[in-house]
Structure 1
Amino acid sequence: MFLVNDVLEYSGPNQNQIRILWISSAGENTVTFEINNPKAMPELVKTNILIEELNEGTVKLVTDPVLKITDPSLISEKARKKRDENWSLICDIVRNVPAVFSKSKRHSLIQTAAQKHSMSHVAFYRLLRRYWARGQTVNALLPDYKNSGGKGKIREANPSVKRGRPVQLGSLVGVNVDESIKKLFRIAISRMFVVKFWRKVGWTAPGKRASGKWLCPTTRDFPIISTFITLKRLEAL
């Protein structure tokens, strides 16, 4: 009726999805894993219960929403190396089936691996959850570089927590950058730095009027990182 790695979806507002990780040789027991639960752990259930829920319409078989077949030629060397490192950490654990699905035995396996690799238990649980959620394949351990950095998104800081490097000198605590401080930065760049840079290199500022007053340059004229580097070199001359 079921196969390992089948994904079942429960009806209802939550629509929880579970993956079948293991089925006993006699077929009476099944281990499942809740895919979208960041704190999920393998659960042992009776196979006949899942069959009853399937017949009643409480649960249905769905297309795997996570498992992807990755073309080996499209995997970068950096990603491949990280994947192999991750696999070397958990391979001895996940090969111990069905022991790894038992809470007490899993803890013992992780304890051994943590001591061997000098890593925390949390790191192993994170890798195991990714491995189980994404189809129990080596490529499930590929890094999610595309999700790193929050491209195009502004991260909101907790007002009560100071972000960034702790103050090393002085007694000032420092503050998080908010919209008012960003505005000051933009004004400083527009009115001070760009003018100083243009004067330094001998350019004619496009925003200068005959009256001698300087206008804020357009956004496209704002300095980029190479501009700062160039100015630094000029100052060193």
Structure 2
Amino acid sequence: MFFRTTIIASATLALIASMADAHSWADCVDWRFNNPSKPDYSAKGGKCFGWARQYPVNSGIAFGGLDDASPNRHYQQGKDMTPCSDGKHGVEPGADETRQSPISKAYGGKWGTMATVKAGDQMCIRWPAKNHAVKDEVDRGVFINMPQTILTKDPTQSGFLKANIAKLPYKGCNFTSNSDTTPCGGCFTVPASLTTGTYVVQWRWELNPGEFYTSCWDLGVTGAGGDSSTTGGKAIGGSTSVFAELAEDD
């Protein structure tokens, strides 16, 4: 009896540890509600129209389950603060979310589609709670960082921080009985001044003080008046905007 009790207790502790170690990521970066007056991030409440870089939409893994995949989807930044997971760096390396050349290589086929939007419109993002939307945890928020110019490479984390456009509550959830796979999300407004082109966006969640998880994606924007900053569908660099220098920040 003692042996059996010990086995059960050990299994219970392992389950608790597993739950405590579950961390989140941006599941959908362009979530559209069936009824905008009643925001619902569950499968019955809307549909996804855009995903983060190289997001395995055809994996067959249910919502919130990609932390059990190999590679898993959650990426915790390390001391080097690599802004978008490369699958190698970080406390938790995560999957490959580096910028691809061309950008389109990160989307379509086995990957999800790239998000598109009109400048000035609202966008909503979804993520799984992963047991961290509970009452006894401090909500330090999700930061949406988006340089407002077309860059030839991703900025450093310092560059992303200078381009913060929104802070969302982490616990904006449609609570269910399963605190691991409860769907959560938040919305932000895409800057209205953007010209037509492809931009980079970072979702950055602070779980504990100084403990950050990120997801990155490319966003196709139709600017005000259809003003174009692209040629043949490819982004042009060399903007004189102050944000153009973000990619070079240390």
> Which TM-score band (shorter chain)?
under 0.3
TM-score by structure 1 length?
A: 0.23
Q: Compare the two structures and name the one with the higher strand fraction.
A: 2
Higher relative contact order (CA 8 A, sep 6+): 2
TM-score by structure 2 length?
A: 0.22
Q: Which has the larger radius of gyration?
A: 1
